[in-house]
Chain A
Amino acid sequence: MSAITLTVNGRSHTLDVDLTTPLLYVLSDDLELRGPKFGCGLAQCGACTVIAGGRAIRSCVTPVGTMDAADIITLEGLGTAEKPHPIQRAFIDEQATQCGFCLSGVILTAKALLDENPKATDEQMRQAMSTVLCRCFAHVRMLRAIKRYAREAGV
Chain B
Amino acid sequence: MRKRPAAADPPTLTTDALAALNRSGLSRRDFVKGAGVLIVGFSVARASRILASGPAAAQNLGVSGDQLDSWIAIGDDGRVIAYTGKCELGQGLYTAQTQLIAEELAVPFDHVTLIQCDTALTPDQGTTSGSQSHPANFNTSNLAQAGATAREALLRLAAERLQVPVEQLTVENGVISVRTDPSRSVGYGALVGGKKFSLQLDSGAKRKHPSEWRVLGKAVPRSEIPALVAGRFEFVHNVRVPGMLHGRVVRPPVVGATLVSVDERSVGDLPGLVKVVVKNDFVGVVAEKPWQAIQATRKLACKWSSGLGLPSHGDFHEQLRHQTPTRDTLVVDSKDVDETLARAASVLSATYRYPYQMHGSVGSSCAVADVQGRKATIWSATQAVHPLRQTAAMILGVSPQEVRIIFKMGSGCYGINGADTVSYDAALLSQAVGRAVRVQLTRRDEMAWENYGYAYVIDQRVGVDTQGRILAWDHEAWYPTLGSRPRSGTPGNVVTGFLAGFKPAVFTPRMPAPDPRGAYRNRSNAAPSYVAGCVGGRCGGTGTVKSERVLTHNVRSPFFTGPLRSPSRLQNTFAHESVMDEVAAQVGADPVAFRLDHLSDPRLIEVLKAVAQKANWDTRPSPRQGIARSGVAAGRGIACVLYEGDNGYCALATQVEVDQDTGAVAVKRLVAGMDCGPISNPDGLRNQIEGGTLQGMSRALLEEVTWDEEKVTSVDWQTYASLPLGFEVPEMETILINRADVEAMGAGETTITLAAAAIGNAIFDATGARIREVPFTRERVKEALASRAAQSSGG
Select which of B221, B231, B410, B732 is within 8 A of A140 by beta carbon. Answer: B732
In the complex with contacts A22-B291, A139-B694, A130-B362 CB distance below 8 A: no
Chain B: minimal CB distance from A116 (Å): 17
* Alpha-carbon distance A18/B295, docked complex (angstroms): 12
Verify if A155 is at the interface (C-beta below 8 Å from B).
no
Per the bound structure, the CA–CA distance linking A131 and B362 in Å amounts to 12
Query: What CA separation (Å) do A80 and B722 show in the bound complex?
Result: 31
B593, chain A: closest CB distance, angstroms: 30
CB–CB B691/A136 < 8 A: yes
* CA of A21 to CA of B271, assembled, Å: 13
Q: List 18 A-B contacts (CB under 8 A).
A: A21-B289, A37-B363, A38-B237, A40-B717, A45-B362, A81-B227, A95-B222, A98-B91, A99-B411, A129-B725, A130-B726, A131-B717, A133-B717, A135-B722, A137-B693, A137-B695, A138-B691, A140-B694
Contacts of A1 in B (CB 8 A): 271
Residue from the list A29, A41, A103, A130 in contact with B442, Cβ < 8 A: A41
Chain A residues near B411 (CB-CB < 8 A):
39, 99, 101, 135
Q: Which residues of A contact B717 (CB under 8 A)?
A: 40, 42, 44-45, 131, 133
| B360 contacts partner chain A, Cβ-Cβ < 8 Å | yes
Q: Does B225 contact A (CB under 8 A)?
A: yes
Contacts of B687 in A (CB 8 A): 95, 98, 138, 141
Residue A97 interfacial (CB < 8 Å): yes
Q: Which of B139-166 contact A (CB under 8 A)?
A: none
Contact of B232 with A76 in the complex, beta carbons under 8 Å? yes
Q: Is the CB of B221 within 8 A of A34?
A: no
Interface flags for A118-155 (1: CB within 8 Å of B; 0: not) read 00000001111111111111111111000000000000
Q: Which of B693-735 contact A (CB under 8 A)?
A: 693-695, 697-698, 716-718, 722-729, 732
**Bound Cα distance from A107 to B224, whole angstroms:** 16
Complexed CA–CA distance, A92 and B234 (Å):
17
Q: Are A42 and B443 also in contact (CB < 8 A) when A78-B230, A135-B414, A137-B698 are?
A: yes
Q: How far is the CA of A104 from the CA of B411 in the complex (A)?
A: 13
Q: Mark A100-114, 1 if CB is under 8 A from B, else 0.
A: 111110110000000
- B residues near A (Cβ < 8 Å) are 89-92, 221-222, 224-235, 237-238, 240, 246, 271, 289-292, 360-364, 409-412, 414, 440, 442-443, 683, 687, 690-695, 697-698, 716-718, 722-729, 732
A-B interface contact total, Cβ < 8 Å: 190
Complex partner residue of B725 from A29, A80, A139, CB under 8 angstroms: A139
Tally of contact residues, A, Cβ under 8 A: 65
- Check if A132 sits within 8 Å of B230, measured CB to CB: no
Query: Which partner residue on chain B sits nearest A98 by CB separation?
Result: B90
Considering the complex, give the chain A residue whose CB is closest to the CB of B88.
A99
Q: Does A84 contact B (CB under 8 A)?
A: yes
Q: Which residues of B contact A74 (CB under 8 A)?
A: 231
In the complex, chain B residues whose CB is within 8 Å of the CB of A133: 362, 717, 722, 724-725
Residue pair A129, B724 in contact (C-beta under 8 Å): yes
User: Chain A residues near B726 (CB, 8 Å)?
Assistant: 125-132
What residues on A are CB-neighbors of B89 within 8 Å?
Answer: 99
Which residue from chain A places its CB closest to the CB of B291 in the assembled complex? A21
Structural contact, B231 and A33, CB atoms closer than 8 A: yes
Other A-B pairs beyond A76-B231, A126-B727, A129-B724, 15, CB < 8 Å: A34-B234, A42-B717, A44-B718, A84-B226, A97-B228, A98-B91, A100-B90, A101-B363, A101-B411, A130-B726, A135-B412, A135-B414, A137-B695, A138-B690, A141-B690
Residues on B with C-beta less than 8 A from A35 are 231
Give every chain A residue within 8 A of B718 (Cβ-Cβ): 44
Residues of A within 8 Å of B690, CB to CB, are 137-138, 140-141
Residues of A within 8 Å of B724, CB to CB, are: 129-133
A100–B693 CA distance with the chains assembled, in angstroms:
18
Closest chain A CB from B336 CB (angstroms): 44
Q: How far apart are the CA atoms of A151 and B522 in the complex, in Å? A: 49
Contacts of A28 in B (CB 8 A): 237-238
In-complex Cβ contact of B683 among A95, A129, A137 (8 A): A95
In the complex, what distance in Å separates the CA atom of A18 from the CA atom of B698? Answer: 40
The answer for the CA separation of A131 and B725 in the assembled complex, in Å, is: 7
**Chain A hits for B271, CB < 8 A:** 1, 18
A47 at the interface (CB under 8 A from B): yes
Tell whether, in the assembled complex, residue A91 and residue B691 are in contact, meaning their CB atoms are under 8 Å apart.
Answer: no
Question: Across the interface, which residues of B come within 8 angstroms of A88, CB to CB?
Answer: 229-230
Contact with A39, one of B221, B238, B364, B695 (Cβ below 8 angstroms): B364
Interchain CB contact under 8 A, A40 and B221: no
Residues of B within 8 A of A140 (CB): 690, 694, 729, 732
B289 touches which of A29, A92, A107, A143 (Cβ 8 Å): A29
Shortest distance from the beta carbon of B380 to any chain A beta carbon, whole Å: 15
Closest to B359 in A: A135
Kindly provide the distance from the CB of B285 to the nearest chain A CB, expressed in whole angstroms. Answer: 16
What residues on B are CB-neighbors of A84 within 8 Å? 226, 229-230
Report the nearest A residue to B16, measured CB to CB: A34
Identify A103's interface contact among B229, B360, B694, B729, CB under 8 A. B229
**Interface SS of A by simple majority:** loop
Chain A residues contacting B91 (CB-CB under 8 Å) are: 98
A80 and B228 form a contact (CB under 8 A): no
Q: When chains A and B are docked, how far (Å) is the Cα of A41 from the Cα of B722? A: 17
Q: Are A47 and B229 in contact (CB under 8 A)?
A: no
Give the contacting residue for B729; candidates A38, A127, A143; CB below 8 A.
Answer: A143
- In the bound complex, residues from chain B placing their C-beta under 8 Å from that of A106 are 725
Chain A residues positioned under 8 Å from B222 (CB to CB): 95
Most A-side CB within 10 Å, residue of B229, B290, B291, B698: B229
Query: What residues of chain A lie closer than 8 Å to B227, measured between beta carbons?
Result: 81
Q: Residue A29 contacts which of B90, B229, B290 (CB distance < 8 angstroms)?
A: B290
B670 to A, closest residue via Cβ:
A140
- Measured in the bound complex, the distance between the Cα atoms of B89 and A136 in whole Å is 10
Q: Does A56 contact B (CB under 8 A)?
A: no
Q: How far is the CA of A106 from the CA of B362 in the complex (A)?
A: 12
Query: Is B363 touching A32 in the complex (CB atoms < 8 A)?
Result: no
A17 to B667, CA, bound (A): 48
Determine whether A79 belongs to the interface, using a CB cutoff of 8 Å to chain B. Answer: yes
Q: Among the interface residues B362, B716, B729, which one has the most CB atoms of the partner chain A within 10 A?
A: B362
- B224 and A100 within 8 A (CB): yes
Q: Which of A12-54 contact B (CB under 8 A)?
A: 18, 20-22, 25, 28-29, 32-42, 44-45, 47
User: With the chains together, A127 CA to B728 CA distance in Å?
Assistant: 11
Q: In the docked arrangement, what's the CA distance between A6 and B430, Å? A: 32
Interface membership of A72, Cβ < 8 A:
no
Asked whether, in the complex, the Cβ of B228 is within 8 Å of the Cβ of A103, the reply is yes
For residue A75, CB closer than 8 A to chain B, the reply is yes
Name B417's closest neighbour in chain A (CB-CB).
Answer: A135
A91 nearest CB across to chain B (Å): 4
In Å, the complex CA distance between A34 and B91 comes to: 21
Please state if B360 and A135 are interface contacts (CB–CB under 8 Å). yes
Which B residues touch A79, using CB under 8 A? 230
A81 and B238 CA atoms in complex are apart in Å by 17
**CB distance B443 to A41 under 8 Å?**
yes
Knowing A44-B717, A47-B362, the reply to whether A34 touches B412 (Cβ < 8 A) is: no
Whether A92 contacts B290 by the Cβ 8 Å rule is no
Residues of chain A with a CB closer than 8 A to B692's CB? 137
CB contacts (< 8 Å) of A125 on chain B: these are 726
Query: Shortest beta-carbon distance, A36 to chain B, in Å?
Result: 8
Chain A residue with Cβ nearest B221: A95
- Known contacts: A47-B362, A101-B363. The answer to whether A137 contacts B691 by CB under 8 A is yes
Q: Which interface residue of A20, A37, A126 has the most chain B CB atoms within 10 A?
A: A37
Whether the Cβ atoms of B246 and A29 lie closer than 8 Å is: yes
- The interface residues of chain B lying within 8 Å CB-to-CB of A40 are 364, 443, 716-717
**A53 → chain B, closest Cβ, in Å?**
20
Q: Which residues of A contact B235 (CB under 8 A)?
A: 34, 37, 101
Contacting B231 at CB < 8 Å: which of A22, A75, A98, A126? A75
Which residue of B271, B412, B683, B728 has the most chain A CB atoms within 10 A of its CB atom? B412
Chain B residues whose CB sits within 8 angstroms of the CB of A77 once the complex forms: 231
CA distance A138 to B283 in the complex (A): 37
Question: Which B residues touch A101, using CB under 8 A?
Answer: 235, 361-363, 410-412
Q: Is the CB of A91 within 8 A of B694?
A: no
